[in-house]
Each structure stands twice: as structure tokens, then as C-alpha cells.
Amino acid sequence: MSTYDNSSWDRSPADAASSRPAEGELSPANAIRVAVEVEALRSGGLASLGAGPYVLEIGFGRGELLLAAAAEDPQRTFVGLEISRKRVRKMARRVERAELSNVRLLHAPAQYVLERALPAKCLEECWIHCPDPWPKRRHHGRRLIQARTAELLARVLEPGGRLYLSTDDPAYAEWIDGVFSRQPAFANLFAPHRWSWEAPARPRTGYEEDWIADGRAIAYFAYARRDAGEPHVASQPAREHP
């Protein structure tokens, strides 16, 4: 059974029903060139995204990290995935302005793309930074990180591929660790610790900048997709935040 929730997913083309762009903005017709319809990906395969290797960011938000990484590494294709069509359209314009040819955008639920659109073992890396923690217990089923999501991530990452996650919510950090500690397909790169409080050497997202300025601590996770037969090593409690 599929686990994605498509109740709020507008499947119409990403350039449909567009409003007139403000002065100085690119037209939707130009901006949409970097956006790929998810059904085209399903039917046409990875060729619709351009040449690999591929890095997927699930929930790119304001897009700072995706843009910076694509500019620094033109040899890889960076794929941004969002459920919000408005964010996809806005990001498409930013990509066009930056003249980046190695960015593609998808508008769809994450689980749908992981389960039905991407082929197995196609990603070199996947990033999920500060997803919605849905803090109320009755909403925990809406959290992106679930056992099924971990299975799907294992499906699309190549052996040795990297998965990077982060959260500013302590309860969600425990949840993420619980999910991936029970998923034998992933090796914790911070083992024997469960996660790290130290920011990685990459550009920060806009939300990270806001929350760090607010005094929040951010937990960072890093996993490698195991080869078949590689042993599963248990992790220990995370290091205390200084």
C-alpha cells in the first residue's frame, strides 16, 4: 500500500493558471523550463532530469542550499522536490536568473516520487533539512520521516550513497534516530553517536540561519546506504550540545 498523502496535491501542470509576473521577473514560460512534470519522470526516466550523478533535496524551502550547491558543483544535477507548487514556481525563476543548467524541480509528494517516479539506486545523495516536526501526538502520522519513507530512501540511493537530515526539534531528533536505527539498509556516519550538534561544512539554509540566530540547537544526521551483507552497528546517545 502506498503511504503518500495526495489529498492536497494539485496535479495540474506547474505553469497552469499562473499570475502575471511582477516587473523584472521572468515569465512563467521561461521559468518553467527547469521544472519537470513528475509523470514525465515516471514515463521517461532519468533522461528528463539531465545527466547524473543526481542529488535530491526533499523540501527545498527557500532554496538557498540548492542554489549554492548547484553553483559550486556543476558536474552534478541537483533535483529539488516540493509539495508546494508556489515554491516550485518561485524557485524556478531564481534558477533561471542564476543561469544554472544543473537544477531540476519536481512538484509532488515526497513518498510518491520515491516510490513511483525515481528508479532504484539512482541517487548519489539525498537531503532532508528541518522537515515539519508535527509536534502534536495525533499528527505524528503526518511526519515525513516514517519507517516506509526510510525503506523508499534505501530503494533510490545507490550503494554507498549519502542521506543527510537535520531538525531543530528535539523530539523529532529522537524520532528520526528511532526510525533509522531500525533500518538496516543505513549506516550511521556519526556512530557510535546518534547524531551531531556540529553544523556540517555546507551553506546553511535560510531556516537554519533564522533558528540559529534564535538560539535553537540543530541536530544533524548522516547515513550511508549499506551494501548487501554489510553489518548493522548500533549507535549510542548523541553528544551533549555545548
Is the CB of residue 231 less than 8 Å from the CB of residue 190? no
The terminus-to-terminus CA distance of the chain in angstroms comes to 43
Task: Write out the three cell numbers for 57.
Answer: 533535496
- Across the beta sheet with 157-167, the strand order is 103-107, 77-82, 54-58, 123-129, 157-167, 219-225, 186-188
Whether omega for the bond prior to residue 53 falls within 30 degrees of 0, making it cis, is yes
Q: Hey, which residues are catalytic here? A: 132
Q: Cα separation of 142 and 129, whole Å?
A: 16
Q: Cα separation of 239 and 81, whole Å?
A: 31
Q: Give the distance, in angstroms, between the CA of residue 135 and the centroid of all CA atoms in the same chain.
A: 20
DSSP structure class, residue 173 = H
Strands 77-82 and 54-58: parallel
Q: Which residues of 184-195 are buried (b: 16+ CB within 10 A; e: fewer)?
A: ebbbbebeeebb
Q: Cα separation of 93 and 36, whole Å?
A: 14
